[in-house]
Copies of this chain bind each other. A is one copy, B any other.
Amino acid sequence: MAQTSTGLQLRSTVRQDGSLELSLVSVPTPEPKPDEVIVRMGAAPINPSDQGLLFGGADMSTAKASGTADQPVVTASIPPAALKAVAGRVGQSLPVGNEGAGVVVQAGASPAAQALMGKTVAILGGAMYTQYRCIKAVQCLVLPPGTTPADGASCFVNPLTALGMVATMRAEGHTALVHTAAASNLGQMLNKICLKDSVGLVNIVRRQEHVDLLKKLGAAHVCNSTSPTFMDDLTEALVATGATVAFDAIGGGSIAGQILTAMEAAANRTAKEYSRYGSTVHKQVYIYGGLDTGPTELTRNFGMAWGLGGWLLTYFLQKIGPAEGEKLRQRVASEIKTTFASHYTRVISLTEVLDPKVMADYNRKSTGEKFLIAPHKAA
């Protein structure tokens, strides 16, 4: 067990002076309790949802490298406007990484933990940009034989978010849905789910090449928000699908309001008499991301039956409870190489995560680009 007794772990700290410090630290691997296992991490993705914690609102164009080749340190300044939002984490050296996968190399005494020895498992729970992760056996999702850690690294955030959108749609009485930034890894996954489950989906993208990409992947409705005919195209797609709920990754700007406006126009196509309060059909947009961190602007011309709100996977899973959540997890495991397959454009080591040149690449958040960290890959 000598080689597992310590491991490297990526840390992010907002320092007292208002700057960000990223570093690799050597941490001892704990002895697992009876219900715990040690996972030798094979792969962990960099999701947009990891970058907020990783960068702490810092301006990464100011990043400076220091430290040694083995244990690099990167510092960057945090603009004053962003500092308030991270006030709660000042001085805390925080581990990063929501999800990943690896092989169980040590197990606590309980039968549940022992049963996992040698298994390839996917795990969720933070601190995944690390070489050895101690975690409860019950939190491990066992992957089917023949699945590598790289195959299973993204079992939770994107797959459960996509499934959560469809489940939320059903639970709230809608029958079809709208998705923005729809050419993303998550968007392609949602498209696959909707095709498989025969759920109407309206994809909104910002570039013609993403229209082409999604159409090639079988999407029936793809609207380009930069097209002059966008509002008409969107309204037609909403009439065709009956979608009255949307999940928006963008957040800022006018897109959420535009979707509500188009939903209202679609609902009024079938209205029989004038109502000054607009259509009685409830129209809902959930903001689940913040690709545009600017203000959200709503031109309220969509009646009174509407809602806008935040949507977070964690809250969704709490709401449906562990039994329903486990059903979703098992579906992901069984379809991890098909419906829920992720594609990575680059595999990097923990050291490379702290290389300012590599950092600039994964910080671009370009649709279609996705990085995978291999914590045991040589620097």
Contact = CB atoms under 8 A, between A and B. Distances in A.
Contact of A312 (B84, B252, B305, B310): B305
A300 B252 CA distance: 8
Given A310-B306, A315-B305, A88 B300 contact: no
Contacts of A52: 276
Oligomeric state, in copies: 2
A290 interface: yes
Contacts of A157: none
Interface string A292-334: 0101111111011111111110110000000000000000000
A287 interface: yes
Nearest to A275: B88
A274 B368 CA distance: 31
A280 interface: yes
Nearest to A292: B300
Contacts of A312: 277, 304-305
A109 interface: no
A315 B306 CA distance: 11
- Of A252, A295, A297, A299, chain B has the most CB atoms within 10 Å of the CB of A295
Contact of A304 (B84, B88, B252, B310): B310
Contacts of A280: 315
A217 interface: no
A251 interface: yes
A160 to B, nearest CB: 15
B89 A274 contact: yes
A287 B274 CA distance: 21
A220 interface: no
Q: How large is the interface on A (under 10, 10 to 19, 20 to 34, 35 or more residues)?
A: 35 or more
Contacts of A92: 274
Contacts of A287: 300
A307 B304 contact: no
A307 B305 contact: no
Given A268-B88, A308-B308, A309-B307, A290 B301 contact: no
A347 interface: no
A295 B300 contact: yes
B53 A276 contact: yes
- Of A273, A275, A276, chain B has the most CB atoms within 10 Å of the CB of A276
A86 B297 CA distance: 23
A231 to B, nearest CB: 12
B271 A88 contact: yes
A301 B85 contact: yes
B277 A314 contact: yes
A295 B304 contact: no
Nearest to A260: B310
A296 B296 CA distance: 8
A300 B306 contact: no
A208 to B, nearest CB: 29
Given A271-B88, A309-B306, A310-B307, A290 B296 contact: no
Contact of A299 (B295, B304, B306, B315): B295
Nearest 6 pairs of A and B residues by beta carbon = A307-B309, A304-B310, A88-B274, A304-B312, A89-B274, A296-B298
Given A295-B298, A306-B310, 5 more contacts: A88-B274, A92-B274, A252-B300, A295-B299, A296-B298
